[in-house]
Structure 1
Amino acid sequence: MKNLIALALSLFITYSSGIAQELKKSKSLKTALEQSLSSKKPVLLIIEVSGLPKPTDLPPNAKISFKSALDEPEVINSINENFVVYKTTMSDTSVRSIIREANVKSFPAFVFLRANKDVFYKDFGNSTDQKKYISMIEKALSASKEASISDLEAQFNADKNNNTVLRKLIDTRKKIGITNNAQLIEQYANNLKIGDFNDYQNVLYILEAGPYSDGNAYKLANTNRKIIDSLYRTEPLQRRTALNNAIISNTIADAAKNKNTSRAISAASFARNTWTRDYRRGEQAYNTQILWYYSTIKDTANYLRTASYFYDNFYMNIGVDSIKKIEAKDRKALSQKHIASMPNQKQISKEKLDSLQKIDGKTVVTQSVVTFSSTSNSYANELNNAAWKFYEIGTKNLNYLSKAMIWSRRSIELNPIAGYYDTLAHILYRLGYNEEAIKTQEIAIDKAKIEKSSTASLELELKKIKAKTL
């Protein structure tokens, strides 16, 4: 079964509804960009998530609305006046490159583009306060008047030794969430004098640009160990985590792009070293990166060999009860971290919400609901995904398939959901256990019905298993 993805979303449930004015929307991104060019207006790209689950356990008279202050006439008029709008979902292939380039991770997302697809501002999230959107519009209009990334790139290419222009280019990219500035920071570091690396702010700036872990910029930034030690001791955890993640992701991405195994190992080793006091998490971080690399460059032999060792030794040498305790602890830590990251988010107690829900009449009650859990725990999900990957690769090696079957059974033991039974059925079929595969797929269908999810694809797979055409 394909990977299950967890998303952090802010939803607003309102116990009354009204008729809202509509935004003027283009039919496609291409049309929006063409209209932007002719009208001299920037594009506002609104990216939503489709298939959101409906809230449960609400009062009988509750009317559900996922609308926000974005639907207020003043906001709509301002958007229509200043922007060309294209509204879509994150599954739209025409916007995937924009999502990736601008590092869009929170939805609904509001991405502002020039006619040449340059992103110059972005925001996210629903709100019942129209001031949020008025402020967003004002900031976007202000940002649209600044030098574009394309203009700054042209200036940089004309004089690559000009660190003033280069820094402005990097800052502009960082402002809209582009974290892959590794190549630019290489040039920036090469333009500096050796004494410049004794400056704390210079070193911090280089590291926050996400240099390659085996690159010259990273090596030069680490020449003064006192500054590095001070930086990792005094900077906020969120900032340190962000710069480490940028270094890892930029290095491993470039390694995969150029099939550079040495660079991939450097990225994986850096990831492991970020867990200095936790050997187990360090090994997990290393193998996660190196497996992604082998998978991306389609090095099947190394992927299967490395994955077999990793999942057996990391996920299968610990009991179910111990796993559940670890996951409960991790979920609690994640919850506390998520709440701490939103200091201005209003928290409504269950008792207060219950009392508000009992109010009769037309009173409007708004509840902010934040969800950040997946439909399964992470150990089960990781094992299921690993088992499915082995099936997906197409291996007929009985040793590898047997491992995948064991991992799949463990994922079901941890969390018996339809998707995991579907994975097991496919592996059993590949191993030649047709009757058991049929029974397992039938269980998957029964589970899906209980979960109130679609059974169409599961039933189609069952037909293929029975016909031996899978």
Structure 2
Amino acid sequence: MKQIVLAFALIISFQSRGQITFIDSNTSWESLSKTAKKERKLIFIHLESNDCTHCNDVASKGFSSADLKDVYQKNFIAIRSNVETDNGRNLAQKFQVKGASVSLYVDAEGNILHRFNGSTSHSKAYLDFAQIALGRKGGKQLSDFEKEYQNGERSAAFLKAYIQKRREVNMPTSDLLDEYVGKLPVDSIKNFQVVKFIYQQGPTMDSRAYKLVQALVPRSMIDSLYKSVSPGEAVAFNNGIIGSTLKKAVDIKDQQLAFQASNYTQQTYRENYMLGNLHFRRNMIWYYQQVKDTANYFMECRHFLEQNHLLLSVDSLKRMDQAALQKNLADQTPLGPAGEKQAVRFAPPSQQYQMELNNHAWQFYLLNNKPRDLERALMWSKRSIEWHEELRRDKHHMPLGNPAYFDTYAHLLYKLGRKDEAIEWQAKAVEAQKVTGMSWVSMEKDLNEMKAGTLK
């Protein structure tokens, strides 16, 4: 099964009748804009691809809500388009979207009011996103900033406001951030609030802004910055720096920059070297996968899983989950006069280990033709199925097991020439998928092709 994303795959909501009404997926931007102006509405664009049918199924479930239908029909022209079609590709290029799934909320002029990367079955999230977009109508929009910028406006105050506007809609800011820092007097870079603003933007580690902070700002001030914010915001600082640096490393195919970001990640776990090393290796594997360096990806992935995941037992994973749960409960912020604690969603860390086994097994199925490596991947896939059966908390949603894991196992069997076993497991995947309420069309298509011996 194509890779699944834990953050959204586990969010299941009860749905009502009705759903968002989407217009023809081939409707051009010009027609969308014209209709939106005429009807005085905003535009909702959901871009998806064939690379993750599970993501598309999750989105379909999220869009199926009577509450959404009312809000979206009244306020939005909605379109759902595949980036592998001409129109989907044109929309993605217009709004500088790379990949999918992505949801955009824009006005008729093409200003992005809100952007959500990913998909979710949680309908309320799409309701919240719509309200955010509606709240941002009017006022100074991105196009206004862009016109001023093109006309030569470069004051520090303007650049800061422009950065904040881009950040508001999850657009890149690194180029503007370096320009903003260049407009400041050297002494200003040592200002606590300036340093905080720079860190909030998630500067890349090779950027002028980040390097100047590291060169000019005392370490004691940076430590004070981290201590002055909530733990969540401190984590956001680190994740922003790491995430933007890794993304740039992929964009320019710079292995050394990826290594810097991964090393930074490891340093954030200074109290737990083993966990830090685990995240270091995860980042480098992700980098090799993204830049399609299959030789390094295969090698690092084999070592990573065999030296970590395959050494774990079900009991050790249970202890890991229990320890994480206790820490999660202890870290919750007391609320109200009685000191009640806020309820938060908890994802057991064992689920990430299961998913990594499945996802890397699937990548080996897609990219590797060596029988020995495919046998390894089959072992990883089988382990993910066994762990899910032992540890799963979603037995009501997946009473027959995880269909994605069955699907991966079946495809590996098929590629290894074990056709009868593959058909048996793919049939299990289809039946397990049916009871989840998600579409099983893609899995059933593969099953039929396995039976006919035509699966590619």
TM over 0.5: yes
The aligned residue for residue 66 of structure 2 is: 67
Change (3 A) 1:264 1:412: same
Q: State whether structure 2 residue 124 is matched by structure 1 residue 150.
A: no
Aligned-partner Cα distance in 1 for 2:158–2:357: 48
Q: State the partner residue of 1:60.
A: none
CA contact under 8 A between 1:211 and 1:250: conserved in structure 2? yes
Identify the residue that residue 316 of structure 1 maps to in structure 2. 310
Per-residue deviation, 1:231: 0.9
Given candidates 136, 143, 147, the residue that maps to 1:140 is 136
SS in structure 1 at match of 2:307: helix
Of stretches 322-331 and 241-250 in structure 1, the one that deviates more from structure 2 is 322-331
> Does the C-alpha gap of structure 1 residues 391 and 164 become closer, same or farther in structure 2, counting only changes over 3 Å?
same
Distance 1:419 1:268, change over 3 A: same
Relative contact order (alpha carbons < 8 A, sep ≥ 6): 1 or 2 greater?
A: 1
* 1:86 maps to which of 77, 82, 86: 77
Q: Write the deviation string for residues 244-296 of structure 1: whole angstroms up to 9, x where unpaired.
A: 22212211112211112222222222222222222233223222322222222
- 1:68: how far off? 3.4
Structure 2 unaligned regions, length at least 5: 47-55, 390-401
Q: CA–CA distance in 1 between the matches of 2:327 and 2:95?
A: 28
Q: How does 1:161-172 map to 2 (within 5 A)?
A: 161-172=154-165
Contact 2:45/2:81 (<8 A) preserved: no
Identity rate of aligned residues, in percent? 26
The equivalent of 2:206 in structure 1 is 214
Does 2:365 match 1:391?
yes
Opposite residue 273 of structure 1, the aligned amino acid is Q
Question: What is the letter of the counterpart of residue 32 of structure 2?
Answer: A
Q: Residues of 2 paired with 1:120 and 1:302: CA distance?
A: 40
Aligned pair count reads 409
Match of 1:357 in 2: none
TM-score, normalised relative to structure 1: 0.71
The answer to whether residue 351 in structure 2 is matched with residue 377 in structure 1 is yes
Matched, 1:261 2:255: yes
CA gap 1:335/1:182 in 2 versus in 1, 3 angstroms: farther
Separation in 1, partners of 2:12, 2:81: 16
2:182 aligns with one of 182, 190, 214? 190
Change (3 A) 1:439 1:35: closer
Distance (Å, rounded) in 2 between the aligned partners of 1:445 and 1:32:
37
Matches of 2:201 and 2:438, distance apart in 1 = 43
Residue number among 384, 389, 392 corresponding to 1:411 in the alignment: 384
Change (3 A) 1:115 1:13: closer
Relative to structure 1, the CA distance from residue 333 to residue 161 in structure 2 (aligned partners, 3 Å threshold; closer, same or farther) is same
Deviation of 1:209 after TM superposition, in Å, equals 1.3
Secondary structure of 1:212's aligned partner? coil
**Residues 252, 305 of structure 1: alpha-carbon distance in 2 compared, 3 angstrom cutoff:** same
State how 1:55-454 maps to structure 2 within 5 Å: 66-68=65-67, 71=70, 85-88=76-79, 94=88, 112-120=105-113, 139-141=135-137, 144-146=138-140, 148-159=141-152, 161-178=154-171, 180-222=172-214, 223-224=216-217, 225-330=219-324, 377-393=351-367, 395-416=368-389, 417-448=402-433
Q: Which amino acid aligns with 1:385?
A: N
Q: Which has the larger radius of gyration?
A: 1
Instruction: Please say if residues 62 and 123 of structure 2, whose CA atoms lie closer than 8 Å, have aligned partners that are also in contact.
Output: no
Q: Deviations over 1:365-421 (max 9, x none)?
A: xxxx998769x932212111110111111x122332222111111101112533212
Q: Shift of the alpha carbon at 1:340?
A: 6.0
Tell me the TM-score normalised to structure 2 length. Answer: 0.73
**Equivalent residue, structure 2, for 1:35:** 35
1:41-76 CA distances to partner (integer Å, 9 max, x unpaired)?
Answer: 46242769644399xxxxxxxxxx9433984xxx79
Distance 1:333 1:103, change over 3 A: farther
The AA in structure 1 aligned to 2:261 is A
Q: Call closer, same or farther: CA 1:104–1:392 in 2, change over 3 Å.
A: closer
Q: Which amino acid is 2:426 matched to?
A: Q
8 A contact 1:9–1:372 mirrored in 2? no
Distance 2:426 2:162 in 1: 54
Alpha carbons of 1:153 and 1:285: their partners in 2 closer, same or farther (altered >3 Å)? farther
- 1:185-234 CA-to-partner distances (Å, cap 9, x unmatched) read 12222332321222111111111111111222112112321111111122
Cα separation, partners in 2 of 1:313 and 1:90, compared to 1, 3 Å: farther
Q: Structure 1's 105 and 199: CA in aligned 2 closer, same or farther, altered over 3 A?
A: farther
| Cα distance in structure 1, aligned partners of 2:451 and 2:15 | 45
For 2:419 and 2:99, the matched residues in 1 are separated by: 44
Q: Distance in 1 between matches of 2:290 and 2:346?
A: 27
Counterpart residue identity of residue 287, structure 2: Y
What's the secondary structure of 2:311's corresponding residue?
coil
> How far off its partner does 1:440 sit?
3.4
- Asked whether the equivalents of residues 105 and 130 of structure 2 are also in contact (C-alpha less than 8 Å), the reply is no
SS in 2 for 1:2: coil
Deviation of 1:24 (Å): 10
Question: Are 1:52 and 2:61 counterparts?
Answer: yes
Q: Residue 444 of structure 1: SS of its match in structure 2? A: helix
Give the match's secondary structure for 1:120: strand
* C-alpha RMSD over aligned residues: 4.4
Determine helix, strand or coil for the equivalent of 1:316. helix
Amino acid at match of 2:352: S
Q: 1:405 to 1:134 in 2, by over 3 A?
A: closer
Question: Per the alignment, in what secondary structure is the counterpart of residue 301 of structure 2?
Answer: helix
